[in-house]
């Protein structure tokens, strides 16, 4: 059994390194938690958590959340850990909850409930992690229907990171067979955003929606406009091209829609990505007669 003095010594070694954006000294506690049948280490960390601050507190909260959700399958313990006003701790707890709840459906439902609650939290980092939890729990076949409306609102969030993560979650939920048609308007708005990564996420999600049998026709003008950006970073243009091509291949009507939208803008065919898109679209033209 590890003594209290030894646990105190190990805790003193837990330090956040801003250069690497990581916390040192956690491995020893992870090893102890893995074999903590008497919950000695858990109880010690719970007592110490209120005395810690910032990244140190968040890192310890992550370890505890990981323990409760995976090793112990203890929803009550997880809820008590999450019941804090400290946004750093809430964010860290959520970041630990993307794993498979397995056959413990009560645990999975409880994790989804915490994420739904967090989608309205004032701290952007908490809202961002909530979106991450929702998309992962959906992938594990948990019911996340309650997240559809909040995700629609988060597409207009004041935080660009939250918008991006909300878009990613929407794409993944579409892949999981949820109807995300109501979110296309918000994705169109984000395709016009000034932040290039928000635009990238919006275009990529519209591509995923098209692959998931959604009609993204309303977003064709925004997707075509993304092809005109002059920024050297071009993943948003690649995503837009992929979405447009997939949409165009679905029907002659869609193909004509994309073709007409292309005529309304001036594309730089000297850019590799644009030239490839135009060649591929020409092949669709040929296939369509």
Averaged pLDDT of the chain: 94
Is the pLDDT confidence value at 1 over 80? no
Residues 87 and 171 in one domain: yes
73 in any annotated domain: no
Residues 140 and 216 in one domain: no
Residues 167 and 211 in one domain: no
14 in any annotated domain: no
- Host H or E run for residue 178: none
Mind listing the pLDDT tens digit for each residue in 262-279? 999 999 888 888 999 999
Q: At 158, list the tokens.
A: 């004041």
70 in any annotated domain: no
CB 201, CB 170: distance < 8 Å:
no
Mind listing the pLDDT tens digit for each residue in 87-143? 999 999 999 998 999 889 999 999 999 999 999 999 999 999 999 999 999 999 999
What are the residues whose beta carbons fall under 8 Å from the beta carbon of 44, sequence distance 6 or more? Answer: 4, 7
| Structural domain range at position 221 | 207-289
Residues 215 and 141 in one domain: no
197 in any annotated domain: no
Residue that is last in its domain, among 178, 197, 230? 178
pLDDT of residue 196: 94
pLDDT band at 286 (very low <50, low <70, confident <90, very high): low
Distance between CA 63 and CA 34 in Å, rounded? Answer: 10
Mean pLDDT of 223-232: 88
CATH for 160: 1.25.10.10
164 in any annotated domain: yes
In terms of DSSP H, where are the helices of 160-271?
Answer: 160-175, 184-191, 196-211, 220-226, 235-248, 252-263
158 in any annotated domain: yes
Mind listing the pLDDT tens digit for each residue in 65-103? 999 998 888 999 999 999 999 999 999 999 999 899 988
287 in any annotated domain: yes
Residues 164 and 222 in one domain: no
pLDDT band at 289 (very low <50, low <70, confident <90, very high): very low
Residues 288 and 211 in one domain: yes
Residues 86 and 139 in one domain: yes
pTM of the predicted protein model: 0.92
Distance between CA 66 and CA 112 in Å, rounded? Answer: 15
Domain count, the chain: 2
pLDDT of residue 35: 87
pLDDT of residue 71: 83
Residues 135 and 211 in one domain: no
199 in any annotated domain: no
């Amino acid at each position: 059994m590890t003594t209290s003095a030894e646990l105190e010594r190990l805790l003193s070694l837990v330090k956040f390194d801003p250069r690497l954006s990581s916390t040192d000294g956690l491995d020893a506690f992870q090893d102890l938690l893995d074999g903590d049948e008497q919950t000695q280490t858990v109880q010690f960390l719970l007592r110490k958590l209120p005395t810690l601050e910032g990244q140190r507190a968040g890192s310890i909260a992550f370890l505890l959340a990981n323990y409760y959700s995976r090793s112990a399958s203890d929803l009550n313990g997880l809820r008590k850990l999450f019941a804090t006003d400290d946004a750093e701790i809430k964010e860290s707890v959520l970041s630990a909850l993307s794993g498979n709840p397995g056959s413990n459906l009560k645990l999975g439902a409880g994790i989804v409930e915490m994420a739904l609650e967090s989608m309205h939290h004032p701290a952007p980092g908490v809202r961002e992690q909530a979106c991450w939890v929702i998309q992962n729990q959906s992938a594990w076949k948990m019911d996340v229907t309650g997240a559809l409306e909040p995700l629609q609102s988060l597409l207009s969030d004041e935080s660009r990171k939250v918008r991006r993560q909300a878009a990613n979650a929407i794409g993944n939920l579409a892949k999981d067979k949820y109807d995300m048609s109501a979110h296309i308007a918000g994705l169109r708005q984000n395709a016009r955003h000034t932040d290039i990564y928000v635009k990238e996420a919006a275009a990529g999600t519209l591509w995923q929606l098209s692959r998931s049998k959604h009609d993204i026709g309303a977003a064709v003008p925004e997707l075509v406009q993304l092809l005109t950006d002059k920024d050297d970073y071009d993943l948003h243009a690649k995503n837009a091209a992929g979405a447009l091509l997939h949409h165009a291949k679905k029907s002659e009507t869609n193909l004509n829609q994309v073709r007409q939208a292309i005529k309304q803008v001036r594309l730089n065919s000297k850019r590799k990505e644009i030239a490839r898109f135009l060649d591929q679209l020409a092949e669709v033209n040929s296939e369509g007669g």
